[in-house]
Amino acid sequence: MSTRAEQKLRTRRALMDSALKQMSADRGFGSLSLREVAREAGIAPTSFYRHFSELDELGLALVDEGGVALRQLMRHARKRIAKNGSAISTSIETFMEYLSNNSNLFRLMLQEKTGVSKTFRTAVKAEIEHFVTELADDLRRFAVEQNKPLSDSRLVAEAMVTLVFNQGAEALDATPTEKDVLKEKLKTELRMILIGSQRLALSAKSGKTQ
């Protein structure tokens, strides 16, 4: 890669980091201005357009980054699960690590999931859909391996992701003690969803054989 191309990538990264740095629990992406994002990144506002056509394009790049980072971490969690077992506990710990390292990326996804921009809502929905699809595949595989069928792995995945995102929103600004309580609560809730689906599958099977 040429020095010029490398510099362009560094500046693009600086702009994305600048936007993330200025976001907080009290300030969403929609309140940022192109000028202040460029200033924080150390470039002139006019130079911004060499990297993004508009501020929303930068935001969409962040949404994509947030989704990719989460899926990569959860893929890593699968390897940890294969070694240590305890799928639910390992997945929750991995998700909490993601929140600690990507808090503003997750805030952006939460805020824009129900935001005013249809483009952002669609982008966040697509990222969540990717995550649900991968989780559903994992659940189907685990069900076969453990000989514990699920009534509908897709619905289970959707319920789990919805629950995790909601609890993640609470965990963002929680104290360490509060996070520990949330994690235990989340483990119980996820197990309830999983066991409930397993029981439904057994009931359906039993009903067919009678």
Q: What stretch(es) of the chain map to CATH 1.10.10.60? A: 1-52
| pTM confidence score | 0.84
Q: Which CATH superfamily is domain 1-52 in?
A: Homeodomain-like (1.10.10.60)
For the domain with range 56-209, which CATH number is right: 1.10.357.10, 3.30.70.1150, 3.40.50.2300, 1.10.569.10?
A: 1.10.357.10
What does the alpha-carbon distance between residue 119 and residue 57 come to, in Å, rounded to a whole number? 10
Cα–Cα separations (whole angstroms), residue 38 to 29, 50, 83, 149: 14, 12, 45, 53
Count how many Cα atoms sit within 13 Å of the Cα of residue 86 in the half-sphere of its side chain: 9
Instruction: Give tens-digit pLDDT for 21-67.
Output: 998 878 888 899 999 999 999 999 999 999 999 999 999 999 999 98
pLDDT cut 70: percent of the chain above it? 96
Distance in angstroms (rounded) separating the CA atoms of residues 79 and 111 = 31
CATH 1.10.357.10 domain span(s) along the chain: 56-209
